[in-house]
Every structure is written in C-alpha cells, then in structure tokens.
Structure 1
Amino acid sequence: MDQQIQKSYEDAKTLYSQHGIDVDQALEKLAQIKISLHCWQGDDVRGFLFRDAELSGGIAVTGSYPGRAATPDQLRDDLEKALSLIPGKHKVNLHAIYADTEEKVDLDELEPRHFQRWVDWAKDQGLGLDFNPTYFSHPKAADGFTLSHADEEIRQFWIRHGKASRRIAEHFGRELGQPCVTNSWVPDGYKDTPVDRLSPRQRLRDSLDEIFSEEIDPSYNIDAVESKLFGLGSESYVVGSHEFYMGYALSRGKAVCLDAGHFHPTEVISNKLTSILMFSEHLLLHVSRPVRWDSDHVVTMDDELLEIARELVRGDLLPRTSIGLDFFDGSINHIAAWVIGTRNTIKALLRAMLEPVDELKRIELAGDFTSRLALTEEFKSYPFGAVWDYYCASQGVPVREQWLHEVKRYEEQVLSARYSLVQNS
C-alpha cells in the first residue's frame, strides 16, 4: 500500500479516536454491507426477454451514450468491470425481463432455469442476486393496469407472473446462500382524475394476497412492495400509493420499499426510516436522486444521501435494511454511472460511521443543543477521505478518481468496438 495513504489513515485514526471512534471496527462493519447494483442501468431498461418491446409503464430513459449492453454476456462483463472498481462484495438486482434464455417464453411462464446462467455467474463472482417482477413493457400492461386490472384474465396473467417471480427468487436464495429480496412495483394508475379510487386498490390487495399465498422460507426470499407518487400516464392517480403499500406491508408482514424519488419533490425518505422500522421487521431502500420528480439520476453525495446513511447508522438499522440502487442514466458511460452511485452510497455510510454517535446522543439528551450543532458541523470536515482512500486500497480497488481511467480504458477497448459493431450491422 502507498505509504502516504497509510500515514494519512493512521493520522485520521488518531484524530477520530479522541472521540471514541474505532476506525478499524467501522471498516470491518462497512465491508459486511452489500449494495444491490441494478442491472437495468447497463442497458437502459431494455432487457433480453422481449428484444423489440418498447419501454412503457411510466419509465423513460434519456440519452444514447454508446456501448450499452445488448446481450446477457455483455451485461455481465460490464457489471464485472464496475464491481472491480467498487470496494466490498455486493449483489446484483435483476428484473424478470433479463432472463438469459433462447426459449420463447412469456412472463407468466418464467422458471428458475431461465436464469441459471445468472446464478452460475453470481456463484463464480461471490455475489448475491435480488429480483423484480416486470409489470411493464408488455402488451398486457398497455392500458396502464396490471395487478389491479378490471379484466380478470389479464389480472390472472400478472398474478401468475408474480408467483413465478417469487419461485425464481427462492431459487436464487437457495443456490447462493443468502436471501434474495423480491420487490414488487406496478405502474397502475390513471392519467386523469378517476371516479373510483377504491376498487383498483381492492383488486391490487387481492392480487398481492394471491401472489404471496405460497409460503417461502424468508432465509431464501424477502418480499417487498414499493409505492410511487405518480408517473408518466398516471399523473393523477397511482393505485399503489405510499399509504396503500405501507398499510399492506405492515398488515401482511412484508418489507416496505422506499424509493428516494417516489415522493413529493420536497419530501425525503430519511425521515421515514425510523418510523417504519419501529413496526416492520425489514426495509428495502432504492437509493436514487430525484431532480424534479422520479427522474432517477445517478446518486451523488448530496444532503439526503448523507441523511439516509446517518439514520441507518445512528439507529443501528443496517441489519434490518436492504440497500439497492435505482437510476438509469443513458447520457453518460453506463459503467461509470454504477461506480459513481455505488461508491457514493458506501462512502456516505462510512461518513455516518465516523461520527461520535454515542457522544452526540448524550449531549442531545442533556439538552446541550449548542454542542450538538457544533460537533455535527465540525465532523463534516474530519478526514473521512483518508479513511475512504485506505479502505479502497485495502480492498484492492482504485483510490479516488483512478477508477475513471479504468472505465475509459474499458470504453476504448470494449464499448467502442461494441458500438461500432452495432452501427455497422
């Protein structure tokens, strides 16, 4: 290891120890946290099951940066490159449309064997897998409704898909020796104000109950449900609102998924974490960066990311929280987007771990709000960067912006050739 990195780390350790912070212990804890990288960043949410399908369901990707993955092997290669630049061992989050199979199969017919190549790859890489049913970009979702559809035949199609997805997730968990988090999100809703808000929600409740009726060992699969404020085509009414899913999850023993972009523009999820985990055993986070609404920008080290990390650390909530990323930016290098977002998420958790939480709690309880404010502000400039550099070096990944050189090299050697092949075909 570089001597300057080592020296800066030792100096930082000494400084943090004056407030009772064990930096070595913090890094050991950090290394145990798995971030779930969303596969759909690598190919602009196209998938491989229906190669000619148009993206729909309120989802839009902007940009056409060259070199996106066009095959499962290319996507896995790109994920490997990204993961080689991120400290720690993590997970990959798959949507159902990313099945790796030559069979012509519909969503309700999917089986674990259609994802076996993903499982074999994850085993080889020492990774976990998470999963999502795909309730969009399909003819049976063309009118904007799936699990809440008034047509029983269409609704049953999506119920079968939900059941199939849970069996696939169970297979992931069993094969990889760690739970697969299966997250259900549906785009159902109306563009304009509906007359009947109740009936679609009753149908959604009943559909979810049927999907979850099959008992699956939670050591293999953790079910989560995700809300949304609104989307393209459902601006006035979304069936699966936050209130709906919070009530459903808490009454059915499921995990609530909070997506950072699925709320009002001035509403943040960091303030919701402790409330939900008082009553729920598990929480799923989709870390994203909304700019105007659910625009899913690459995660940056902004105030809300830091507050999310602080809430998880200060409340000791990490053991009961699964953290996944959810953004899709087609305007920049797809691999760089993964690396930037994941490294920032891990870095924010490290910053939170390097705060004198016990000391701050004692000060707060004593009513010394002056010292509370002074210390929290001073710790913003403590040398967490030196600790981060050491952590990256000790994990065998590039320090600071050195990772960008690797991405640029990969772009020249792999992505450019891939793009040229597509252009010439």
Structure 2
Amino acid sequence: MDTAIVLFTRDLRVHDHPALSAACERGGRVVPLFVLDPEVPAGHRTGFLLDCLADLRESLRSRHGDLLVRRGDVVAETMRLAREVEADAIYASADVSELGRSRERRLAGERVDVRLFPGLTVVPPGALTPSGGGDHYRVFTPYWRAWSRSRRRAVLPAPARVPVPSGLVAGDLPDHSSHPALEGGESAARARMNRWMTRGLDGYADGHDDLAGDRTSRLSPYLRFGCVSPLELADHAEAGADEEHTFVRQLCWRDFFHQVAWAFPRINRDDYRPGSRRWRDDAHAVSAWKEGMTGVPIVDAGMRQLLAEGWMHNRARMIVADYLVNHLGVDWRAGAAHFFDLLLDGDVANNSGNWQWMAGTGNSTRPGRVLNPVRQARRFDPGAAYIRRYVPELAGLPAIDAREPWRLSKEVPGYPAPLTPVE
C-alpha cells in the first residue's frame, strides 16, 4: 500500500491543511512527522511550540492517527523514517525562509517524490506578479489591490481519518511548561479566532492602534506556528463586522512580506534596498534599548512588554524599531535579532520585512520618515495608561504624556536620562 509522510513544520493544525488533506485522500497510509532540530532551537518559543505539538498529536489521535516526533536534522530524520515505512512520497507545506527552502531542495535531491502545498499564507508567494514585470511586488498598495481581487482556493475541512501504519514508535515530546502569556495549539487558536470574530472584529478599524486598549486579536503567534489557517481567518474576517477590512489588510501585509522573502530569501541579513547608510556601533545603547531603560517612556514600555510577554503591540513595535534605527542609528539587524529571539510570533519574513521597512532599507515608499516617540505616545497612549502598565516606576507620576522625557530622570529616582540620539 502507498505510504506518504506528511512533514509538519510551521503548519501545526489539522483544519485547512492542504498537504495533510491530499495525503489522506490518496487512500494509502499517512505518517505525520515533526522533527525537533537541536540546531534550530525555539528559544523563548519552546513552551508554546511544545503546546502546539501536544495539541496536534491529540487532534491526530482523535482521527485514528498520531504525530511521530523525531530529533535531529530534519532532512536526515525524514529520510530515515521514509526508509523505515517505505514511503513513496513526502508531503509538506511550501515555506519561504532560506532554511525552509534549503530543506525542500535537499529533500528533492533524495530518491522520493516530494510534493509541496500552499497553506502558510492566504495567497501563495509567487502567485501574484506585477503586470509590468518582476517576480514579486515591491510596494504594498498595488499588491493589496491584486491580492484583494485574487481567486483563492477553498478552505478544507479537517480529515475525518488519518490512517497511520501500526507498530510505529510515536516518540515522546519533551516535558515543558506552557508559555506564561499564551497557551499554544490549534484548539486554543480556534477558540481565540472564534471569540475574536464574535467580539473583537467590530471596532477594530478604530481601535487597533490604541496601545492601552489592546484591541488586537493576538492571533499572530498562532499564525506563526500555523495553528490557524490564514486563509480561513481571512474568509471569516471578510464576512465579519470590520467594514473597512482593516484586519484583513493586516493579513495581506503578512502575505506581502512572505512574497518579498520568497523573492529575496536573505531578507534577514541583507538590505533589500542597498544604500550607503552607516550604522552606529553602540553596545550601551543597544543594551539599554533591550532592557527598556532608554529614558523614553513609550519606548521603554514597549520593550518591557516584550520581555514580560514575548509579544508587543504593533504600534509599539513601530515606535521602538524607529527609535533604535533612526534616533540611535543602530543597525536594524540588531533589533530584528532581538525581536526574533523573544517574540512568540517571530518569523523571518514578517520580522525582517517590518524592520527593514522602519530602517528605510526595505519596501517603504517613504524611507526617510522618522517617528517622534513623544508625539506617538500622546496620540496612541493618551493618559499614559500603557506606559504606567509596563513602566511601574512612572505609574504614580501625573501627566506623563505631557512631560518631556529628560525631566523624568530628575523626578523619578532610578529612571534613566534619555540616550543621546545620533547626529
């Protein structure tokens, strides 16, 4: 009987999983596999990832299947299992990262049929190209127009049965503690998605930049690990109460940076738009920024939220990134690496794409724009409730948003004076 391995990577779900569905539809045996690669540690995302894997295993077991877990190099362990079960095909979701595509090329070089499927984005990278030529869109607005008009595949139901061969050793998941801020897994993702569509989508257009109100979905970590289908999420959102489709536009931004990374796989290392900008080498400034001790309250609040929760409000991400690269003159790669280490939703495409956008080396059509963090605080955190939440030493101080940062270090013992900006 034909046997197919379904290699899970960043697609830890059973609903709307084209590779899994296609493997089950073949009528043969299906072997779901995830490989824990010690050379690619999950870091702060470990607890969340293991939650996702445990939940995926339970979902597969409820469908008469299982999740096999192996440790080691992903390609080597996949091929080892392929020989063990005499698999004739490997099914997987196509990735855009340099690491993911390298694995795909290595698997393609083996004597086995490798089939790649969509599923990590709403619209597959490369499916939309500019009419004037080129392999990807460099500017968001024309991509948004093409993306909005594009035909999409149908959302797939979860397979009713996953026919795994008998006698296989499933492999243990490491003992772990869940992430303190967010439980991982498809079950939690779908519950959050349903709550968001019912209670959160209405008013998102007006409130998504409100830092203290925190009126965001917090679905990004689940999208990063593929616990929820971006296509299913987009379909639900387009039918929801957000008449301006502001939330759907955020999903399009995610697709936009994925298609950029697909065309420019070194997006996390090289400037997308090479220039002559010289970066400042200042270890003290970088350390103060990471610790949320810059002396600029709104920046410090965002960085401390990241340290405490492994997440940061999107408006705060823009403010702290702009502060590091444009006010302190520090290379965007230092900020992107720190975000990637700590963010639950940290992935190569979105993290690096957004950092390059703020640094003026990426896809921004206004690369010279600089944000004033004090004005940003007054606009998006009036009353300083967000600042008080994450910078407790300032909580008792009245009118934080009306004070210039240099005054706070004199009024609050222990709070630093603002760092010296680059000339």
Superposed pair shares fold, TM > 0.5: no
Q: Using CA pairs below 8 Å that are at least 6 residues apart, which structure has the higher relative contact order?
A: 1
Name the TM-score, length of structure 1 as normaliser. Answer: 0.23
